[in-house]
Structure 1
Amino acid sequence: MSGERVLLLGGKADFIRKAVECGLEVVNIQKPSGFAPALLEHCRQLHVLDYQDVPLVTALAEAMHRVRPFTRVLTQTEAALVVAGHLTSHLGLAGNGVEAVRILHDKRALRTLLNHKGIGEVAFLQGATREDAQDFVRRHGAAVLKPAMGSGSLGVRKVRSPAEADKAWQWADRSGLTDFMVEELLTGPEFSVETFSIGGEHTVLCVTGKDTAGRFVEVGHVVPAPLPTETAEEIGRFVRKVLDAVGLIEGLAHTEVMLTPDGPRVVESHSRRGGGRINELVQLVHGIDMDTLALKVALPGQGVPTVPAAAGAAATRFVMAEPGRVTSVDGVAAAAALPGVREVKVGVAPGDVVRPAQWSEDRCGHVVVYAEDSAAAERLARQAVDAIVIRTVPDDEAIAAPLHHRLAEVDEVLDPFASRVDQQVNT
């Protein structure tokens, strides 16, 4: 095996296979919970340890880099992003350093930066008390209470009155997550912008339409977003300004945007590709595999990609169910048999628990479809999801796990640079 030597944090076997196919020599670090035998086929070395243990992973990376230097530290794993930025800066490598990645990881830091630069300003509070939150709602009419770090709409709560703010604050206390922020409630249709950057130049790959059904956890995506060309271009220009302000140098970014009556506003942004099957949608419509783009930044001479025009449209719709314990799952074969359906996956079976939809991890499955235009793709995706019926019975004890227990289930902490003592208190 030869080629550019990269340190890759996390990632599934298919992603690492793509890295090898790009000509990269991969040294992979996996959490014990992420280990799978299939990883061994593609790696020059595989180290099983908690890459969110910053002192430990830094010492290991230093030692390996001294023996045979890396050219990049790469990841598309949310829990590893800020650690990858730290290692990039610490080892003096090319790529996105810890400052830019940390701003995207910490929603308070991103909001502070954008407000300071006058880019889509949004009122918010950090380090607030319960009384501060109630007063904020009185002044702004409505607000959002959310963890300062994290993704997938984990723990996001909408409050429309001081009384609701009080209840949300009580819920936050019970959740075991103490680092929350409060910001004004944005209104309008929501989109995400998928971008790829080289040398600080940002290319918009597509604008993705998002359906939240009035909640924070998305229930569907469609590519391309059903938008007039000039509106899509406006949103793209806005996101490029955001990424310039952050100082993102290279690689993928996934920026969620609300198109408010006052113009585009950032919801959050991440230095990785979007989840929720967005990569599959982009591949179907534009013929671009964002995983491969993310990996090719480590190769010499990588230039700005050409984005083919959209050919048709693709949509994903997520399978949801009433919270409780699953008693039956029906209709999967019927959904898969519909013309234009490309993929159907359901991740629950009888005996499993469906939790309230507080996080993207709480969704029960998905369908992916392809059609001639965005409207047809969305209709087909709804039809396919409607064919799937998951029946549950109430099980209050099973669905009552607080948020910090949910993070423990996926072996993740929100801030790997927080003291281990603080993390132990919250688990």
Structure 2
Amino acid sequence: MARRALILLEGHRSIGLLYVKAARRMDLHPITLSADPACHDYLAAEGIEAIRVDTDDLDAVIRECSQLRATYDIAGITGFSGADESVYATVGKLSRQFDLPGPNPTSVERCCDKFTQRQLLAEAGVPIPAFRLAANATDIESAAADIGLPVILKPALGSGSSGVRLCRNIDEVAEHTTYLLGGKHIWQSSPKILVEEFVQGPFYWANLMGNEIIAIGAGAFGRPPHFVFREVTYPALLTDEERERIADVSLSCLRALGLGWGPTNIEFRWTKRGPVVIEVNPRLVGGADPQLVQLAYGVDLITEHIKLVVGDEWDLRRRHSHTAAARYLVPDRDGTLDRIDGDSRAAAVSGVAEVKIYVRPKTLIVRKGDYRDRIGHVIAASPSLAQTKAILQRAVDMIDLRITPFATVGE
């Protein structure tokens, strides 16, 4: 009998290895198809079968999967995005091609284009920020004046907060416009920029599987103008009424966008008018979140997602109720990372679930204002929020991070 294989399109620096390990526990053989397997370190480190193929070329990926079927029983197909979320639409198309469970590719494509997403949500009456689409500097300046400062400028396509910035005055609008359109930002297609109202209030997100809300988390960002997470906590401190309102709006988003198969991540700001939807992502959230959900509730989102992908019955029941939180290590300056240690001491603190450093000493640190700025994390869990926060702070205080700034001209 042919070995059952799980096809993974591309990789992911925070959750890719977790998918591989979960697949192996389920007696599935993980195979990664990637345009550049070498950029996913864990593939070689874990001895994972990887095949180089242009994952933007649907026909090429179909041919590769067809060849693999001669050796393996392909049980399911899923994948991850880097800067280009079209991978999820490709997963949907492949799943239909090979008669496997998967998301609706049309719904995913509409959702990944943030302008189209905004239009569909607005038509359905879902609360969202005021927005305009722009393709050049004149359009951007006009939209910012129309909406009123401050505004958010972001690419209509992309993920991980890449290219997203808060612009508090017209000079910052001009500066970020030059960045986005002047060749520094890498575009997957013709430039399309969203100019959005800056909605203020506590930041939350809901993790759904199918039509069921599994967990609601809370996040805190570093200093503006960028949106780089510093801390993430599960569960978010909400009243029953607030949770119910977030649940209602979440389900409205699924209906408006034609989603509801597999994982969805929906981001909110809580305002005077209640939850305002910042973004809907047709995928499982990355970072430390899957581990935090498992620590807080005992639900393994990754394993349950794989079960869905291969046609097995999932189990989303909560096993317990704890508080789990992650603190991300984010440099406060550019320069050379001279030292980062104390992680083993931090990991030994009672209640700490994981300490992970993503970079090595002597790495050059050049902040980009997105998820790539994070160089490590600490995860802690306990029965209470206060205890978890105390554990987290004690562990983080043990980590010694030293960066020597780059020499300036004339020094």
- Short-chain TM bin: 0.7 to 0.9
Q: 2:9 matched to which residue of 1?
A: 9
Q: 1:150 matched to which residue of 2?
A: 158
Unaligned runs of 5+ in 2: none
Match of 1:50, SS? coil
Match of 2:229, SS? coil
CA distance 1:71–1:344, shift in 2 (3 Å): closer
Q: 2:351 matched to which residue of 1?
A: 340
- In 1, Cα distance between the equivalents of 2:213 and 2:365? 36
CA drift of 1:328 comes to 1.9
CA distances 1:215-249 after superposition (whole Å, capped 9, x unpaired): 41111101111222221222122112212222224
Q: 1:237 matched to which residue of 2?
A: 248
Q: 1:283 matched to which residue of 2?
A: 294
Counterparts of 1:272-421 in structure 2, within 5 Å, are 272-300=283-311, 302=313, 305-310=316-321, 312-321=322-331, 322-356=333-367, 358-395=369-406
Give the aligned residue type for 2:94.
Answer: L
- Select which of 190, 211, 217 maps to 2:203: 190
Give the aligned residue type for 2:169.
Answer: S
CA distance 1:298–1:291, shift in 2 (3 Å): same
Asked if 2 retains the 8 angstrom alpha-carbon contact of 1:86 and 1:98, the reply is yes
- Select which of 214, 218, 222 maps to 1:205: 214
CA drift of 1:101 comes to 1.4
Q: 2:110 matched to which residue of 1?
A: 103
Counterparts of 1:240-251 in structure 2, within 5 Å, are 240-251=251-262
CA drift of 1:148 comes to 1.4
Give the aligned residue type for 2:326.
Answer: T
Asked if 2 retains the 8 angstrom alpha-carbon contact of 1:13 and 1:38, the reply is no
- In 1, Cα distance between the equivalents of 2:380 and 2:249? 29
Counterparts of 1:40-119 in structure 2, within 5 Å, are 40=47, 46-62=50-66, 64=68, 70=74, 72-78=76-82, 79=84, 80-91=87-98, 93-119=100-126
- In 2, Cα distance between the equivalents of 1:95 and 1:192? 23
Asked if 2 retains the 8 angstrom alpha-carbon contact of 1:316 and 1:381, the reply is yes
CA distances 1:291-349 after superposition (whole Å, capped 9, x unpaired): 10110013446256323452x21100011222211122243344233332221122233
Q: 2:270 matched to which residue of 1?
A: 259
- In 1, Cα distance between the equivalents of 2:180 and 2:32? 36
- In 1, Cα distance between the equivalents of 2:32 and 2:345? 40
Asked if 1 retains the 8 angstrom alpha-carbon contact of 2:4 and 2:72, the reply is no
CA distances 1:159-190 after superposition (whole Å, capped 9, x unpaired): 12223211221121232343322111111111
- In 2, Cα distance between the equivalents of 1:386 and 1:286? 27
Give the aligned residue type for 2:185.
Answer: G
CA distances 1:68-96 after superposition (whole Å, capped 9, x unpaired): 77554222445532321232344454321
- In 2, Cα distance between the equivalents of 1:301 and 1:37? 29
- What's the TM-score, normalizing by structure 1? 0.82
Comparing 139-148 with 122-131, greater Cα deviation is found at 122-131
Aligned length, in residue pairs: 389
- In 1, Cα distance between the equivalents of 2:256 and 2:140? 28
Asked if 1 retains the 8 angstrom alpha-carbon contact of 2:343 and 2:399, the reply is yes
Alignment of 1:179 onto 2:179: no
Asked if 2 retains the 8 angstrom alpha-carbon contact of 1:318 and 1:366, the reply is yes
Comparing 56-65 with 177-186, greater Cα deviation is found at 56-65
- Select which of 166, 170, 179 maps to 2:174: 166
Give the aligned residue type for 2:202.
Answer: P
Q: 1:412 matched to which residue of 2?
A: none
- In 2, Cα distance between the equivalents of 1:169 and 1:313? 40
Asked if 2 retains the 8 angstrom alpha-carbon contact of 1:281 and 1:314, the reply is yes
Give the aligned residue type for 1:15.
Answer: Y
CA distances 1:235-280 after superposition (whole Å, capped 9, x unpaired): 1221122122222242112221111222212222222221221111
Asked if 2 retains the 8 angstrom alpha-carbon contact of 1:213 and 1:219, the reply is yes
CA distance 1:26–1:317, shift in 2 (3 Å): closer
Match of 2:309, SS? coil
CA drift of 1:6 comes to 4.4
- What's the TM-score, normalizing by structure 2? 0.85
Give the aligned residue type for 1:181.
Answer: L
- In 2, Cα distance between the equivalents of 1:247 and 1:66? 34
Q: 1:120 matched to which residue of 2?
A: 127
CA distance 1:124–1:92, shift in 2 (3 Å): farther
CA distances 1:54-79 after superposition (whole Å, capped 9, x unpaired): 34213333555699775542224455
Unaligned runs of 5+ in 1: 398-427
CA distance 1:346–1:225, shift in 2 (3 Å): same
**CA root-mean-square deviation:** 2.7
Q: 1:406 matched to which residue of 2?
A: none
Match of 1:275, SS? coil
Asked if 2 retains the 8 angstrom alpha-carbon contact of 1:222 and 1:377, the reply is no
